[in-house]
Amino acid sequence: MSYAQCPKKAGLPREIVKWLQSLELSFYPKNVRRDFSSGYLVAEIFSRYYPQDFPEHSYDKGTSLSAKQRNWSQIERSLQKQNLHLRKEVVDGTIHCKPGAAELLVKEVYTILTNRSIWGVEGPESDFTDQEYQKLLPTLARSTASKAIKNNLRITEIMAKPDISTNQRKAEVILHRHLEHRAAERALNPVKWANLHKQHWPGLQGDVYIYSTSTHIHY
């Protein structure tokens, strides 16, 4: 059985692709999530419009967390000089390679520098999780609760903010969202879930449904 592949490189609107190509960057971002995370390409893009404030030689092409943090800190200072702003949650999501974050960031940069609007920049806020990808998978191939936390709480996030309580809250949010999503699926397809439990857990004396943080057994 073949499953949908996790989108390592999501597409950008054609208008933005042409714009990026016109900038003659040092390299073209083949993998949007990976190639924009360090901030180097972002600085290079801004340097085409503000060469004095974004000198390319001042930025590190490295991919370590420390290199990313230095680059993005410098980008933030340079943006402030021009009274420009990128949303912190989008920048953080880009640094940690969260799904959809880099794509949204590039759209924001495009809008700032060209004064042209791209649909989606002002749209609903993304939660930068792999939930949309999970929906593409067969039910039994989807993440468990522990896998959902592992997939959506990056090691670089923990390294950047090693505070235990902060990361525990992040894990709790991910877990709560995962359980809510699973509960909604069960509510929409109760017969399907009952059949799955009977096929894969025949020893149970009923069908187990998980709602929020509690488990209910129906006989």
Residue from 72, 18, 81, 92 nearest 49 by CA: 81
Which top CATH class is 14-114?
mainly alpha
pLDDT band at 118 (very low <50, low <70, confident <90, very high): confident
Segments of the chain assigned E as strands: 207-211, 214-218
- Each domain of the chain, given as residue ranges in start order, spans 14-114, 130-200
Q: Is a pLDDT exceeding 50 seen at residue 5?
A: no
Q: Is a pLDDT exceeding 60 seen at residue 26?
A: yes
87-104 confidence digits (pLDDT tens) = 998 998 899 888 888 999
Q: Is the dihedral of CA 63, 67, 68, 71 positive or negative?
A: negative
Q: Is a pLDDT exceeding 60 seen at residue 81?
A: yes
pLDDT band at 41 (very low <50, low <70, confident <90, very high): very high
pLDDT at 6: 36
Mean pLDDT of 30-59: 94
List Cβ neighbours of 41 (8 Å cut-off, separation of 6 or more): 25, 27, 29, 35
- CA 14, 20, 26, 28: dihedral to nearest 10 degrees? -10
In eight-state DSSP terms, residue 118 is: -
172-200 confidence digits (pLDDT tens) = 776 777 677 777 777 777 766 666 555 55
The reported pTM is: 0.61
